[in-house]
């Protein structure tokens, strides 16, 4: 499968799952602000790794609870995916927490707090 087609499928799966997530009634999901950040579909379209993030600074227990809710709702999400996207096979979903947003915010904070000297002092 060409890289361009796979990227389009990844983007479409991400968009579809994000839309379907809004209508999930499970309190583990509905009471939190969850974002689908990325999806990676395998080459044979049988599996999809779904990366999610939770607004704020969740602890390990909260992340595990959200992941359990997502796994519980995976049948509903797969059904929504199958009705929205016409693929040969509807992929099985596996969920992973994505901490890249928090990591990026941490790096940004470090850069803001880094001491900035006058660059002309280094040349002397």
Q: Count CB-CB contacts under 10 A for residue 101.
A: 13
Which tens digit of pLDDT belongs to each residue from 22-37?
999 988 888 888 989 9
pTM of the model: 0.78
More confident residue, 40 or 124: 40
Alpha-carbon gap, residue 73 to 81, rounded angstroms: 12
Which tens digit of pLDDT belongs to each residue from 58-112?
888 888 999 999 999 999 999 999 999 988 899 999 999 988 777 777 788 888 8
Domain map of the chain by residue range? 3-113
Alpha-carbon gap, residue 66 to 26, rounded angstroms: 10
CATH classification for the domain delimited by 3-113, as one of 3.90.105.10, 3.40.50.970, 3.30.70.330, 3.30.300.20: 3.30.300.20
SS3 28: helix
Q: Are 21 and 77 in contact (CB under 8 A)?
A: yes
Report the run of H or E that residue 58 belongs to, with start and end: none
């Amino acid at each position: 499968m060409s890289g361009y087609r796979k990227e389009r499928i990844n983007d479409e799966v991400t968009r579809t799952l994000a839309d379907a997530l809004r209508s999930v009634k499970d309190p583990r999901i509905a009471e939190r602000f969850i974002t689908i950040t990325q999806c990676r579909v395998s080459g044979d379209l049988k599996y999809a790794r779904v990366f999610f993030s939770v607004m704020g600074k969740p602890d390990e227990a909260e992340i595990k609870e959200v992941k359990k809710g997502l796994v519980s709702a995976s049948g509903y999400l797969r059904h929504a995916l199958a009705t929205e996207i016409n693929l040969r096979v509807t992929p099985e979903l596996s969920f992973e927490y994505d901490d890249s947003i928090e990591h990026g915010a941490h790096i940004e904070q470090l850069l803001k707090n880094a001491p900035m000297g006058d660059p002309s002092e280094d040349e002397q």
